[in-house]
Structure 1
């Protein structure tokens, strides 16, 4: 709706122009009153124009000499009013469907026109005209109101517009959506719900599109209009036919078909995409293309025909309705043949064929309601119900999914499903199966419960109430909500029965589990294996007797019965309390029998059993098992038999057994089991597993390997851990993304024997650089990184021993010393302890490596050169790299601070590191350094430590410190009382040491009985 340009041919008198403008306004008001859609908005627009007409009539009464100043304002006002009239006329003549679809756009156009007219009104020169104040105020107020005007579509019109958009987005002709839309449109048009009258509106709408009356709209909008027409035609065809006529037409179509689908005609293919078209459109060259493909082609700036390359007169296109209809008929014909032929395939004994066929069937159901009707006419419902008894859970799940889709279409479909033989019983059985299947079964029952006749039956199906209440307590909020809604729908049932089921929902399930009916026991056991249960639920089930029933099923001769029992036990054994009860109730015997005897069980069943055994092993490590001292394997023979399966089974069982032994090794009986595993050459097997590509198996092998290195003798590992193994472990640390695997690998290196050859292999393989990376890599999650750092610092201790200064130099050259100092303040207790040990070992070499201070020569005095300053502790020239001095590394204060830690190991390591400063001849200078660092007072406090080992080291330290008269005088009095306390309460050796220190302080005579 573009505005016409204003063209002047002759000069019209202003008085005449004023009259013409008033007439235009009146015509526009009359046109607005004829608009059927958006009446409220057009009435509002008319009221503005009515006020404007009255104002212009008032202006016509003014002196004609002042009219000329009105000319420009009137010309613009007349033009803008004509534009408003054009909007009103088009809305009067346009099809109602178009107007409803574009209600928002019409409101925007009307709003723009009103504001432009308001702006035109503001151009009237009120002062030069000499308009009285009352009229001037009216004009200003009307101008303001029009320039601020806003229009919105009526709620029902907005709702219809949104429904149009929804149908276009979903792209299907859903009958229920169509019926709802018909009712809304009929109300908006003020007519009865008469589909024929509405069809007439759609027919006129289609004619307007085809005749080009809507060509002014853009391509995207035109496509939406065509989609609305197409969807209405499909839905109308489906709605206007009775069930009997549909059945008759379907039989006629089916009887005329062959057995094989037809290949598409060449004309069905788009020349651009080379695929069968879904929305063919014809361009000005007469060639047809897929709409989306040609739109993209034109959007790229091309203006020729993609086939002939001849330039096009225009880039417009129109739907090729005949071709689209032919393609649709071809597709429907082939899909009908597919639906007919699939029925026999889904009853095949070949599971893969059944699954593929069900997948095709589901896709067709989702594609179009018409295909779902054909499924009903082909009597698929009983066949799908029959598949709910299939052993393959995927077959059952897809069948339920299709039934859910069919049930949503109509109440008639719901009744068909519910009346099929054993339908409700089969659906209820699916409630007891795996989570995905049970959710679909619940949704289907919820759909069916909306029919009165079905609702009365559902709640009385055996086991239904029990299973529903179980799902009511599910961790899945959607399943819980659906279960609650279904229970609410079962209003015909006695509410006392429902409430009792909620209060005791496990009791009916357990009664069914111990029932004599084998198929019912299978279903209940499967429920326990797949339903979401809280830990409290699992414990309650064991307390109520579920374990006894499941163990009884475990010993059943039927393999299927064993399998569902094992699945249920796997689910319930995941909490320690249940695991311990299973051990007490002798569940291990039948479980090991299934695990060891290949002929009794399938590989998948053995995998489940291995998982249960792992759960039981984990239970022996729990706090509840501390006083029991139980293990799932105790004798060397049992350990060997279980461990040997690692070399004879697949990855899943291997993983479970490795985790089992990890748990056993960490239990109270762990040290004994670790010793037996080492004697059985388990290390050799684990070394081989560390080289596997299967990361899960490898990770668990590395973890168990790490467990065995914690307290093993050196010979065990020196026999099996060679250079290749070390390179493998370092490779894991460098490449693995699993922090636990990295920590375990570093733990093995940390725990390896401190053998010269092993250490040299580690150095040659670049271990120091890898340790440095582990200690400084800040990209990893701190909580996961902690064990890696602890083991890396522990592994470093072997390289910092003072007996090999070459190794120490290599460590210092990498830059690790500053990192160790940093860890003294930020690491865990174990990290601080290990870091302090390395720094202590470094410091033991410092006195010997400290370079003597050069005496200044004659030339130095002449040149006034600054003399070298020696280290206050070592009295020579020190550095971190050359003498490994802890003072130069700024480690003194962090070490002193560590003396106040609650962890005795940390205090001891810090103390030993500090005492290296007073070793040998450096007592005087080192003691002074300790005093200036305020270290002596914290050392004295350690005399009150509950650790006798730490007390002993402290006594020996103070015995040396108090040899320095200055320190004895300064700190002696504060040490007397703790020392006296040790002489009275300590052991014989400790008393003697304390007495010697007191003698240093002149408190005891050296002949005292404490020295006895």
Structure 2
């Protein structure tokens, strides 16, 4: 085989580099050409939603040439220059034809292929003309084939030269129908469902799963176009996403949903991490910042997100609402280094994170007016279903809300404005485990929006979410509830409000003790977020947070989970009562073991923070115990060569404390321990 025909890495309607066949023996070239021709002929049995006439004519011509190739296989002529030239050109062209046929039958690409029908027809026409040109140099008279075969080849050459390969009238009508529907959305007019169904039936999009795949494909195209700064196609692509999302949520209401893509199902559990503190998140995209910049109000955002915000004409600070006196963006190099260290410690690709941030920040505004109106119509319909639908309709509506809000900030805002949150909160009290999972998952996506947090709190949603955390029908529902508590706790006033509920910390500690790995992580991170309010430290201690975390560290071998647990212990150790609680839980050997064995750089630094505060808050007994551990000092010295500047400072301070203890008496050391204030390594 000369060329690799299957290419799963290429984009639709593009041809990868197809190299000419040079230095290939005629026999090998002909064998490969026969194989390629057969592959093209096999498309005869496949369904083509568009380009049916052009496809039929192309396959017919290739089929005739296949007969010719097989006829001369054992009778290649001696004078082969012009023959090989023809075969090489046909081989290259047939590869491109196969790529084009792949696109015409590609799953999920039917709608886009319809909208590109004119361009696709032109490609068919150009490739068939190349076939005609190649056959012009073929010395038929010198080939040992029958007169009938020669006539067939001449017929193909003649037809290929004259082939019009025009757009199928039915494709053109369907394309115009889609454009009309998209324009109706843009003009804030809800299209007739019967008209929409005609275009869906034409493309054979008859199930929820097929419609969902169309949306996923179009979203991937939008992401690619945006990442490459090719914005020309984005409005049309966005309009189609809006149209098909409308279809998926309304026209396929009674069909089976959620089975086509498990990554979008409730089984896709969201896990959080303490190593992504709130200061690392962009207030606009809610994702990890990769290029943090500060604006005139003193707030920090990811550069891509705030530039998109400013480009859209907004001159207010997104977080404070204050007027931006200047659009100058000042790089926050210190924060960027901390984030880079975090990414290094946790194996996160900076490039991948930057792409993710760019994708999510792009969705602050709708991709097109048509997309915006389609989502508004759909959001109102789904919100209505939450209140007045059957249980099955409610579950379906909640599932659609989750999909819409998953990675689109504009969709979140529209769904919140449509009053979907109160309806989702009502569903949490159901006795149906599946319904509860779907509704709590949808609420999780909406809780990432600043307005979503506010609506949940104002509708007393914290009580409903807490009830799921304590008594959820499935472990998945409980751990999702813990994640929601983390997101809601990001505003300072809500941290205090949540912490004042006496059942919150005991419920989170219970999840640490009995939950899955995902549940444990979410509970730990929720506690971490609540501890940003100092008034919650005492409540966390009273709920038994420290013994639960120490037991987890003693039994778990999961690096990320242990690192998160150490982060919470380091926060609690800052206060005297926290340090004493850690010692009472017999945690010192566990912390030393983690310092020695954990592979995470951040985990080691959290261990150093815990030991430092234990020394400061608990005195000579802890210091003496550390001095007796011979492996401690070498480990501390090794940490001085890497890590953040704050972590190095903390390590140096701990080393000095231990050295001074060795040099002086215990009583004198205790009286001279400096009560300095140190910056937390987080």
The TM-score, its normalising length taken from structure 1, stands at 0.34
Structure exhibiting the larger radius of gyration computed from Cα positions: 1
